[in-house]
Structure 1
């Protein structure tokens, strides 16, 4: 395989993995998070994409077989829980800015769930060279970080025009993505 073909393959995988970060971040952006939290979330998602890809490279196909289904269920339930919390806060909470990712624990769980697909991709990358896997992991992290920022930006712009309805829509986006992960 030549270098251009390998680079093209890595970039295509990076954008495919980053699509979760983009779509879910639109939902979070509708909740109108502040700039500091947005930057932390982008960084966290990027780091988790790198770490989980590298973990996949290290642990191989056996672990992926056993954890793959469990990880998918965990990620789905987490997203639906965040969406349900955001929906409840939108409908019954105070008139304050909603922060579905308002603390470090929630942000870490969200970032890990968005990045779980990188773990399974890392398992398959283990069949290639270590260099290919490490370059892929770094690309996954950078692209997912950028796609998260894009999603947050889109969500924030849309949120300003629709107000509380945007927060409710964002909650349904998260719940829908969680259901999509399950089925």
Structure 2
């Protein structure tokens, strides 16, 4: 995967965490920098671990599906992308469901909930020749930046911008899935 592809994937995977962080920042009001950094750290670590878990599961199954691996990668990436588009357009994005509480348990549960799409992407990456550690670190760093920033600007930009970002991420993931499919079918 090209460096640009890794960058697009990393920031696409962090958009739902950004949307949640915007909602948390708006709900808390004026979150202190320490709260924004704590949120970013928790979201970043969880978001970096889940593609590794998905990748491990995909590697375990890869020998059984080698002939259709590009279709699986396409369907998973496009499926996550379409789901993100639907959630944003239907108004069922993560930002509206964000609890205002600051407890670590609530924060961790929210981080896990928003990282399940990264696990599905991790499964699809198992069928490709990629450096999963590099991708997981990129996803974790992007999520840290997006979540911390989302907390700090949440009150200013509100949930509408979070939805628009989720639409862009959904389109990007669908495009990445189509690119993988195209590359394998034309090779």
Which of the five TM-score ranges fits, normalised by the shorter chain?
A: 0.5 to 0.7
TM-score, normalization by structure 1:
0.62
Tell me if the contact between 2:22 and 2:95 (Cα under 8 Å) persists in the aligned partners. Answer: no
RMSD of equivalent CA atoms: 3.4
Which residue is 1:121 aligned to?
121
SS of structure 2 residue aligned to 1:12: helix
Which residue is 2:53 aligned to?
55
CA distance in 2, matches of 1:147, 1:57: 23
Q: 1:44 aligns with which of 18, 42, 45?
A: 42
Unaligned runs of 5+ in 1: 86-99, 160-168, 178-183
Which residue is 2:26 aligned to?
30
Which residue is 2:185 aligned to?
none
Say if 1:50 and 1:26 are closer, same or farther in 2 by CA, change over 3 A: same
Q: CA deviation at 1:113?
A: 1.1
Q: CA deviation at 1:121?
A: 0.6
Which residue is 1:11 aligned to?
7
SS of structure 2 residue aligned to 1:155: helix
Tell me if the contact between 2:46 and 2:112 (Cα under 8 Å) persists in the aligned partners. Answer: yes
Which residue is 1:140 aligned to?
139
Q: CA deviation at 1:6?
A: 1.6
Could you give the per-residue CA deviations for residues 90-142 of structure 1, whole angstroms, max 9, x where no partner exists?
Answer: xxxxxxxxxx241111010011112111100100111123x611111110000
Note if 1:109 corresponds to 2:109.
yes
Q: CA deviation at 1:26?
A: 1.2
Q: CA deviation at 1:37?
A: 2.2
Q: CA deviation at 1:23?
A: 2.1
CA distance in 2, matches of 1:80, 1:41: 14
Unaligned runs of 5+ in 2: 62-71, 167-187
SS of structure 2 residue aligned to 1:60: helix
Tell me if the contact between 2:51 and 2:119 (Cα under 8 Å) persists in the aligned partners. Answer: yes
CA distance in 1, matches of 2:107, 2:15: 18
Q: How many residues align?
A: 137
